């Protein structure tokens, strides 16, 4: 059995050092969130794209197309889930990119402030559109 | 190797040909994952704004702006979006497999080839479907 373990060169495979797991901090949950939301988004985003670009021609997805689809509240829930998960997955990705490339503390703080404010504004705006369309 | 004026003579030792980190396919997967993720995120921001036009002037503005998406340039842009989405999805699956299954780490280079192959395949098939209506005059 010992040779079985040696056969695995992977640093992520279970090894002797992993009996004591490190404390799970924010970055652990960030890593886990990216995996889970990413798997869900594969289905949500690719089905959404297929419906609006492959099954239907994009030129025909006008207001009548949208109001017909959003008559069903389940499609509003679907689109809102895609909006929320997509923005959270995206903003967390951009947070990591910012940490990698924007090194100066002040610049990093400003970059993240703009990123979070912009994302939150557009999240609120998108949510408003999905909820209020056809009933204002 | 050309040396520019003013450059001090190099001390003896081993120097890489370039300063690009040579992580091979894994490094390119990393770079492409970042770029496609970045671009898809900014498309999402744009998309939130164009959909919000539904509530402006009873949707007439939305229809006017939306007609632009049938333009050949924006159709090609949509093919690019499809490429970004499919690559980011499949490479994300590859990352999840590498994180959770030791077998995937051993075959990570083959996995990257599969990711590239499927991305090209799906982009070409989807691209034909997206661009076709512009030429067949719908």
Domains in chain B with CATH codes: 24-136 (1.20.1300.10)
Interface of B with A in 82-121 (CB under 8 A): 82, 85-86, 89, 92-93, 95-96, 98-99, 102, 105-106
The answer to whether residues B61 and B75 touch, using CB atoms and an 8 Å cutoff, is: no
Question: How confident is the model at residue A16, as a pLDDT?
Answer: 57
Q: Could you read off the pLDDT of A44-78 as tens digits, one per residue? A: 999 999 999 999 998 888 899 999 999 999 999 99
Mark yes or no for CB contact A12/B41 under 8 Å.
no
Q: Could you read off the pLDDT of B111-133 as tens digits, one per residue? A: 999 999 999 999 999 999 999 98
Q: With contacts defined as CB-CB under 8 Å, which chain B residues touch A58?
A: 69-70, 75, 78, 130
Q: With contacts defined as CB-CB under 8 Å, which chain A residues touch B129?
A: 53-54
Interface check A90 vs B, CB under 8 A: yes
Name every residue whose Cβ is closer than 8 Å to that of residue B22 and which is 6 or more positions away in sequence.
B16
Whole-number Cα distances in Å, A117 to A113, B40, B68 = 6, 19, 29
Please compute, for residue B79, the number of CA atoms within 13 A of its CA located in the half-sphere on the CB side.
18
Confidence label for B15 from pLDDT (cuts 50, 70 and 90): confident
Interface check B21 vs A, CB under 8 A: no
Give the tokens for residue A11: 């640093």
- What does the pLDDT average to over A81-109? 96
Question: How confident is the model at residue A18, as a pLDDT?
Answer: 56
Q: Which of A102, A94, A31 is nearest to B38 (CA)?
A: A94
User: How far is residue B120's CA from residue B106's CA, in Å, rounded to a whole number?
Assistant: 24
Question: How confident is the model at residue B11, as a pLDDT?
Answer: 72
Query: What burial class does residue B90 get, using C-beta atoms within 10 Å of its C-beta: 0-12 exposed, 13-18 middle, 19+ buried?
Result: buried
User: Which residue among A45, A59, A91 places its CB closest to the CB of B70?
Assistant: A59
Mark yes or no for CB contact B34/A97 under 8 Å.
yes
Q: Is A62 helix (H, G, I), strand (E, B) or coil?
A: coil
Give the tokens for residue B29: 């997967």
The rounded mean pLDDT for chain A is 87
Question: How confident is the model at residue A27, as a pLDDT?
Answer: 93
Question: How confident is the model at residue B1, as a pLDDT?
Answer: 45
Mark yes or no for CB contact B75/A97 under 8 Å.
no
The rounded mean pLDDT for chain B is 87
- The whole model's pTM is what? 0.83
Domains recognised in chain A with CATH numbers: 25-132 (1.20.1300.10)
Confidence label for A96 from pLDDT (cuts 50, 70 and 90): very high
């Amino acid at each position: 059995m010992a040779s079985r373990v040696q056969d695995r060169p992977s640093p992520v495979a279970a090894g002797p050092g992993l009996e004591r797991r490190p404390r799970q901090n924010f970055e652990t949950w960030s890593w886990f969130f990216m995996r889970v939301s990413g798997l869900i988004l594969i289905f949500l985003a690719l089905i959404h794209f297929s419906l609006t670009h492959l099954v239907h021609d994009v030129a025909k997805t006008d207001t009548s197309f949208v109001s017909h689809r959003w008559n069903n509240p389940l499609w509003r829930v679907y689109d809102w889930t895609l909006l929320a998960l997509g923005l959270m997955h995206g903003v967390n990705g951009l947070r990591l990119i910012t940490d990698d490339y924007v090194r100066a503390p002040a610049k990093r703080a400003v970059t993240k402030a703009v990123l979070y404010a912009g994302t939150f504004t557009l999240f609120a705006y998108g949510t408003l559109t999905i909820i209020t369309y056809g009933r204002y | 190797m050309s040396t520019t004026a003013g450059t001090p003579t190099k001390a003896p030792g081993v120097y890489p040909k370039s300063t690009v980190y040579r992580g091979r396919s894994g490094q390119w997967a990393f770079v492409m994952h970042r770029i496609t993720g970045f671009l898809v995120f900014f498309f999402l921001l744009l998309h939130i704004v164009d959909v919000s036009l539904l509530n402006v002037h009873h949707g007439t503005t939305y229809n006017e702006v939306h007609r632009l998406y049938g333009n050949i340039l924006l159709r090609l842009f949509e093919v690019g979006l499809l490429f970004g989405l499919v690559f980011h999805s499949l490479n994300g699956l590859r990352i999840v497999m590498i994180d959770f299954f030791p077998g995937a780490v051993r075959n990570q280079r083959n996995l990257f080839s599969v990711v590239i192959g499927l991305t090209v395949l799906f982009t070409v098939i989807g691209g034909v479907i997206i661009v076709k209506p512009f030429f067949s005059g719908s």
